[in-house]
Structure 1
Amino acid sequence: MRKLRKQQGITIVEFTLVASTLLLLVFAILEIGYFTFNLQALNDLTRRAARIATVCQVDDGEVIRSLAMSEYVPSGFTTANLAIDYLGADGKSVPNILADDAPIHYVKAEVVNYNYGFSGILNFLGDNGVISVPAFETVLVAESLGVGRTDPSTGDDVYIDCK
């Protein structure tokens, strides 16, 4: 009888240890899942921005970035974290994209200078829970770049407004 009385509280102690470990593991898995969702949202954001940039005028950079933003953008992500670049046939940046004879063959959208911040449970990762996100980028073949059909009466190109 004395032996049983000494072990009366051991069940609650064991349950507390096991339950707290399991809850910690479950919340860490949820946090990793949310992080993965945000990485996929960034990847989709570059795809969407590159697609919009292939059909909009090259001088509409800020408009293209704002059109690409969606409701699934991670917190802290702004249009300043999205770079759009126009590339030549060799894959190098075109120096003067506004020139009439600019040899633009590709459009590249890229996530730049964005850091993701983990919340409570995983804040030991990186620098106080803040880690640098890899540079997601999407490169697509340039299409109309905002130039529509030629106006038959003047012979000039008609520009499509992406605003």
Structure 2
Amino acid sequence: MSVQVSRQSGTTTVEFAIVGAVVFLVLFAVMEVGRLMYTWNLLNEASRRAARLAAVCLVDEGVNGAVAGMVVDEVGGSLPGFTPANITLEYLDRNSGTALADPAGVDYGSIFYVRSRIANYRYEMVLPLTVDLSMFAPDFATTLRSENLGRIRTADHGGLSEAPCVGS
């Protein structure tokens, strides 16, 4: 009986090493999928916020990147590598819904929708593997109806004045 015990010493250590490696790999994979879903949800929220800000801020602020900068400041800390270059804003025509080439130079009445897109964001995985599983996230887009586009009514019988979203 003592011969069999000495042959089996260490088998539990080997079994634990094999099973433990698989368990930890599955654990890290589940955590990584959770991070991926969180990142995609945050990118979707960033797209929504950019469209909302573009709908209520001056068109010039959307064109010059100030709106994208505000969105990155709000959610960028949770998204490493997220920059204003990942955000594209389009102002869409009232009649055909096509993007206006120069939205800052048109009458505000011709802008009916605002579309924001999040594109070219690279998701970096932290799963400790020897292969790099990082990938580009899918593009996210949100289209909203334009609202005041940064113009507010004044007290002098319905006149309009511009109210920038970004402080000068």
TM-score by length of 2: 0.86
Q: Give the 5 Å matches for 1:59-98.
A: 59-61=60-62, 62-69=65-72, 70-71=74-75, 72-89=77-94, 90-98=96-104
Q: Distance in 2 between matches of 1:96 and 1:156?
A: 25
Unaligned runs of 5+ in 1: none
2:145 aligns with one of 137, 141, 148: 141
Q: Distance in 2 between matches of 1:110 and 1:122?
A: 32
Unaligned runs of 5+ in 2: none
Greater helix fraction, Structure 1 or Structure 2: 2
Contact kept? 1:50, 1:108, Cα under 8 Å: yes
| 1:23–1:99 distance in 2 versus 1, CA, 3 Å | same
| 1:160–1:78 distance in 2 versus 1, CA, 3 Å | same
| 1:96–1:123 distance in 2 versus 1, CA, 3 Å | farther
Q: Distance in 2 between matches of 1:122 and 1:28?
A: 10
Q: Give the 5 Å matches for 1:17-56.
A: 17-56=18-57
Query: Runs of at least 4 residues of structure 1 off by over 4 A?
Result: none
Q: Write out per-residue CA displacement over residues 13-58 of structure 1, whole angstroms, 9 at most, x where no aligned residue.
A: 1111111210111011111101110110000001011101100000
Q: Distance in 1 between matches of 2:122 and 2:97?
A: 27
Q: Distance in 1 between matches of 2:155 and 2:8?
A: 91
Aligned partner of residue 129 in structure 1, secondary structure: coil
Contact kept? 1:123, 1:130, Cα under 8 Å: no
Aligned identity (percent) is 33
Count of aligned positions: 159
Q: Distance in 1 between matches of 2:163 and 2:113?
A: 19
Q: Write out per-residue CA displacement over residues 72-106 of structure 1, whole angstroms, 9 at most, x where no aligned residue.
A: 54101111111111111322101221234251110
Aligned partner of residue 104 in structure 2, secondary structure: coil
Counterpart of 1:159 in structure 2: which amino acid?
A: E
Counterpart of 2:71 in structure 1: which amino acid?
A: A
Provide the aligned C-alpha RMSD in A. 1.9
